Amino acid sequence: MAFLTETRIRAARATDRPYKLFDERGLFMLVTPPGGRLWRLRYRMYGREKLLSLGAYPDVTLKRAREKRDDMRKLIADGIDPSARRKAERGARAETFEAVATEWLELQSKALSAETISILGTRLKSFLYPYIGNRPVMAMTAQELLATLRRIEARGRHETAHRVRALAGRVLRYAVATGRAPHDVAADLKDALAPVKSRNFASLTDPARVGELLLAIDSYDGQPVTALALRLAPLVFVRPGELRAAEWSEFDLANAEWRIPANRMKMAEQHIVPLAHQALAILRELEPLARRGRYVFPSLLTRDRPMSNNTINTAL
């Protein structure tokens, strides 16, 4: 005979001490001083008494609590400890590809620049998490990773597919090193993707052509901030990402120095750029245009983020 009813549960009132309302076969409700009504199952396993949480009322109704109790008792009858099983399931969820990748990326952020971490994070979120993010790394196969990479290839992005395979391999090798995966299945796919034809990027080696480029930069008549970024670039010799994300706090105009912090450099070491008088003149011209925001080259849309990756490339 059942001891609890919905009417009795709804009538239960909180007191200054927790108390229990018992049902049957180990099921009871714990009423807490703040007013919580929590389902608990008391059971014995290997001679020891244990408690298992079955949820909170009213999200878990009396009928559903009894169903969950019966499911747990079937496990107990089969010699399976429901508490241990639940703990194992939580552990498995914590060892999905996405969970391990998030942990790995956090570790890499201590050495890599913020821009590199952003690029890696975007690749994970765009190409891997939607398809294998919920997969336990212990059970991942080369075939399912290959199916994910084939999606990228189907869009004609073969070089991206190779980069994503390499990224997945870095995450899986971390999983192997931390004892959560037996093997890096990405390594098995080295020759499974369509080869990428290597290409040389355009470069100027003829002094006359370099002069033509500098003249073209001087004659650029687009956005003033973009024009000044183009003019500053050949004076400082830094990567485009380091230039566009430059912050005013990094510059010491009085001593003609630009100190780029380690967290923005590829090699994770501070880089000091001496500033010629032409560079100083450009920076002083930029000050009113940047509206004294954080970034030397702010986005056209907001001062809260730097100029986009493509702005300088498009201007060139």
Express each pLDDT in 102-113 by its tens digit: 999 999 988 887
* In contact, 25 and 76? CB cutoff 8 Å: no
Shared domain check, 167 and 113: yes
CA atoms within 13 A on the CB side of 310: 1
pLDDT for res 303: 78
* In contact, 238 and 273? CB cutoff 8 Å: yes
pLDDT in tens, the chain (316 residues): 458 999 999 999 999 999 999 999 999 999 999 999 999 999 998 889 999 999 999 999 999 999 999 999 999 999 999 988 888 777 666 689 999 999 999 999 888 878 888 899 999 999 999 999 999 998 899 999 999 999 999 999 999 999 999 999 999 999 999 988 889 999 999 899 998 876 655 666 677 777 777 787 877 778 888 889 999 999 999 988 889 889 999 999 999 999 999 888 877 788 999 999 999 999 999 888 766 688 998 887 777 888 887 777 776 6
* In contact, 246 and 296? CB cutoff 8 Å: yes
Domain end position, chosen among 29, 61, 90: 90
Shared domain check, 10 and 73: yes
Task: Dump pLDDT digits (tens) for 121-173.
Answer: 999 999 999 999 999 998 899 999 999 999 999 999 999 999 999 999 999 99
pTM of the full structure: 0.50
Secondary structure letter of residue 96 according to DSSP = B
Residue 199 lies inside a defined structural domain of this protein = no
Where does 78-187 have alpha helices with state H? 82-93, 97-108, 114-123, 129-132, 142-154, 158-177
Residue 176 lies inside a defined structural domain of this protein = yes
pLDDT for res 213: 76
Which residues lie below 8 Å from residue 99, measured CB to CB, with a gap of 6+? 93
Residue 194 lies inside a defined structural domain of this protein = no
Residue 279 lies inside a defined structural domain of this protein = yes
Which residues lie below 8 Å from residue 100, measured CB to CB, with a gap of 6+? 137, 171, 174, 175, 178, 180, 181
CATH code, 134: 1.10.150.130
pLDDT for res 290: 66
Shared domain check, 175 and 130: yes
Shared domain check, 69 and 148: no
Shared domain check, 273 and 231: yes
Residue 201 lies inside a defined structural domain of this protein = no
pLDDT for res 46: 86
Residue 198 lies inside a defined structural domain of this protein = no
Residue 45 lies inside a defined structural domain of this protein = yes
Residue 196 lies inside a defined structural domain of this protein = no
Parent domain of 290: 207-315
Shared domain check, 84 and 141: no
What is the C-alpha separation between 264 and 111, in angstroms, rounded? 10
* In contact, 251 and 286? CB cutoff 8 Å: no
